[in-house]
Amino acid sequence: MKNQLKTLLLLGVLSVVLIGIGAALGKGFLIGALVLSLAMNLGAYFYSDKLVLSMHGAQEVSPREAPGLHRMVEELSARAGIPKPRVFLMNEAQPNAFATGRDPEHGVVAVTAGILEVLDERELRGVLAHELAHIKNRDILVSTIAAAVASAVTYMAHAVGLFGSMFLGRDEDGEEGLSPLQTLALALVAPLAATVIQMGISRSREYLADQTGGEISGDPEALASALRKLEAGAMALPVEGRPATASLFIVSPFAGMQNILSLFSTHPRTEERVRRLLDQSRRMPAARGWSGSALPFAR
């Protein structure tokens, strides 16, 4: 509940930033930005899963091709009370996973080839529970709303930077509007503020998915162990490009890159996620609901 409230608060702050810019620039800018961003993000909402899966070369696998993976997804989906999502495999060495789909009826879980090599069955079960938690919590909807508002903020900030000197000298009543310095500050600060708020939303979603995933699997400690291994894998096998999809993955694909991307990480610190999961585990009956082994499983 705490993370859900934080997400709502951050969405509210993002909306206030948008309204504030609109008030400063005029109704025309606000309406235009909203229409454009909503149109773009409605398309992303309905087709984002296909786009993301295509970007990562993910291929759907059948129960015959990956019986162990499908067995766990089916069991955990039943525990989560959602339809079983489609299962995809990415031919990538870095151990990682993500979920997508606009609602539980269109859910998708995708894992890399690397994660099947690095994690044992218990840990993989914890990761899958985390991804199913994203679907159960309808995180794609939250992120789409956030993206729509943030896009509008960025659009208006760019408009200010490009056309501010021509259109922002006076308001509708002929009085002096924004000064050149105010125009420059707005053009620079607004998109940065939107990015920071989106980071906060993404991090809150990860904490919530960790908690919900621990409840679904009944084994938060396994997810904590998996997160340690996955971060080590991301550090050892950094990837290039595709920063737009980084927030979807259970750990940042760019964990091993010491550059500007690390300053704008969409993920909380793994140490804090592990701490919270271990605290959750101590409050639960030992490995509740887990009856399998910790040995590698058949794909």
> Which residues are annotated as part of the binding site for Zn(2+)?
130, 134, 206
Q: What 3-state DSSP class applies to 130? A: helix
Q: Can 131 be counted among the known catalytic residues?
A: yes
Find the catalytic residue in 92, 123, 131, 221. 131
- Write the CB contacts of 143 (distance below 8 Å, at least 6 apart in sequence): 201, 202, 205, 247
For residues 238 and 256, the answer to whether their CB atoms sit within 8 Å is yes
Length of the chain equals: 299
Buried b (16+ CB within 10 A) or exposed e, 220-253: bbbbbbbbebbbbbbeebebeeeeebbbbbbbbb
Vertex 227 angle, CA 57 and 250, to 5°: 40
Q: For residue 122, report the phi and psi dihedrals to the nearest 5 degrees.
A: -65, -45
List the binding residues: 130, 134, 206
Separation CA 82–CA 132 (nearest Å): 8
Query: How many CA atoms within 13 Å lie on the side-chain side of 159?
Result: 19
Separation CA 100–CA 249 (nearest Å): 10
The strand ranges marked E within 102-236 are 108-112
- Provide the phi-psi class of 292: left if phi over 0, else alpha when psi is between -120 and 50, else beta: beta
Separation CA 286–CA 281 (nearest Å): 7
For residues 120 and 296, the answer to whether their CB atoms sit within 8 Å is yes
Provide the 8-state DSSP code for 226.
Answer: H
Sign of CA dihedral 202, 204, 209, 214: positive
Q: Please list the active-site residues.
A: 131
